[in-house]
Amino acid sequence: MTRTGLRAVEEWPDLVPYLLAGSGQGHNLATGMPLVHPPVAELVRSAFRRAVEDASFTRRVSLYHGVLGDPELRERLARLYGEHYALPVTAEEVLITPGAQAAFHAVSALAAARGRRVVFFAPEYPGYRTHPEVRYDMLLPEVVEQGDREFRYLPPAGRLDPDVGAVIVSRPANPSGNVIGDAALAALAGECASVGALLVVDNAYGPPIPGLAYRDMGLPWGDNVVCVQSFSKGALAGERLGFVLAPAPVVRELGELQARVATFPPQLVQFAAAILLRDGRYVELCGGELRDAYQERHRLVRDRLAAGLTVPYRVHAVDGGQFAWVRLPGLAGRTAELFFTLLDRGVLVAPAAPFYLPHLHDDPHARQCVRIGVTAPAEAIIAGLDIFTEVVNEHG
């Protein structure tokens, strides 16, 4: 492996696992693909059928529409999230976006316009770093060990200043699976408010859509809080549909930024989503069978690691999402190097470094962690982890 090759891996954007997935070779445990659960996929198919057959079809797909999103969908989402989290959400506080990713870019554009920086807590999803004019900064979390096998990241307190325009946290987190506790998140929202920053909570894996949290969680609400949601893990990743819950002035500001790029999100998928929410079946499946299927995969990964690894390791508490985040404290070298050894053996895992900004690449967790996706087929997980544990046992 060359130094350039190592640097390229350490600076992966999160797109790389998707691109690698296309090769179809080996056991891809770096994947960020959603799990396809046929009952949810079928429900989506029938919602699209109804959308296409509806009398409003031609009007919807042939004309231009409102910038903030389909009124029925905004109303249904406000009611669903308001009821689920006991929050006073109204339709004016919902912005529909062409995927959550679009909302993150709009948040960065907002920070750029205000000349303020965007802060993350390591490790964090690289997909938020989209804007060439934004200064992105990253702070290390507190690490708490739990029992013999687990650890947990806690957001650092008292580290923000008035130069910060937004703090973005994934919750459930990619890569760690962490769900920051409600009290810690409320404290963070308060700290953000005290310096005039937005707290942006990426709930792309959280309930009720798609429902992939394995720990009880609330959502924060307030003048400076922006919650970003996604339909991607609810069988709609290909159709690009997300939404933001935020105070109406923030919704309008983000909507204006979005309008400059996309004018408004596509109509048919918004209508299909509104149809999906007309009864409780979709949400019930997301929080039920779909969540169970993800949890089953998490158990498979845990069991395989426990059975195979003879060297010390710890995993981050699996509070939600689709990744296991594993620390190998005795590893000789970095997981970015281990990546190449595993690649030679036909196994892909995501090394830790891309989830850290470069100035933190020497942090022990940036050197010693790997992200293992749980959505590969079960056979690939079993075969891939057998090779992974064998290789790791040789390297410490």
Ligand X SMILES: Cc1ncc(COP(=O)(O)O)c(C=O)c1O
Task: List interacting residues with ligand X (CB under 6 A).
Answer: 32, 99-101, 125, 170, 174, 202, 204, 230, 232, 237, 242
In whole angstroms, give the CA distance from residue 74 to residue 364.
Answer: 44
In whole angstroms, give the CA distance from residue 356 to residue 138.
Answer: 7
CB 55 within 8 A of CB 75: no
In whole angstroms, give the CA distance from residue 108 to residue 284.
Answer: 33
CB of 265 to ligand X, least distance (A): 11
Q: Which residues contact 315 (CB under 8 A, 6 or more apart)?
A: 149, 150, 151, 302, 305, 324, 325, 326, 327
CB 229 within 8 A of CB 246: no
CB nearer ligand X, residue 68 or residue 331: 68
CB of 85 to ligand X, least distance (A): 18
CB nearer ligand X, residue 33 or residue 309: 33
In whole angstroms, give the CA distance from residue 260 to residue 140.
Answer: 35
Angle subtended at Cα 45 by Cα 41 and Cα 48, rounded to the nearest 5 degrees: 140
CB of 35 to ligand X, least distance (A): 12
CB of 39 to ligand X, least distance (A): 21
CB nearer ligand X, residue 138 or residue 392: 138
CB of 98 to ligand X, least distance (A): 8
φ, ψ for residue 318 (rounded to 5)? -90, 90
CB nearer ligand X, residue 125 or residue 313: 125
Place of tokens 């308060």: 190
CB 314 within 8 A of CB 391: no
CB nearer ligand X, residue 9 or residue 204: 204
Angle subtended at Cα 89 by Cα 204 and Cα 111, rounded to the nearest 5 degrees: 55
CB 128 within 8 A of CB 285: no
Q: Six-digit token pair at 237?
A: 């990743």
φ, ψ for residue 283 (rounded to 5)? -65, -35
In whole angstroms, give the CA distance from residue 74 to residue 138.
Answer: 33
CB of 3 to ligand X, least distance (A): 29
CB of 105 to ligand X, least distance (A): 10
CB nearer ligand X, residue 158 or residue 238: 238
In whole angstroms, give the CA distance from residue 11 to residue 356.
Answer: 9
CB of 28 to ligand X, least distance (A): 15
CB of 232 to ligand X, least distance (A): 3
CB nearer ligand X, residue 334 or residue 371: 371
CB neighbour burial string for 30-48, b if at least 16 within 10 angstroms, e if fewer: bbbebbebeebeebbeebb
CB nearer ligand X, residue 242 or residue 265: 242
CB nearer ligand X, residue 101 or residue 224: 101
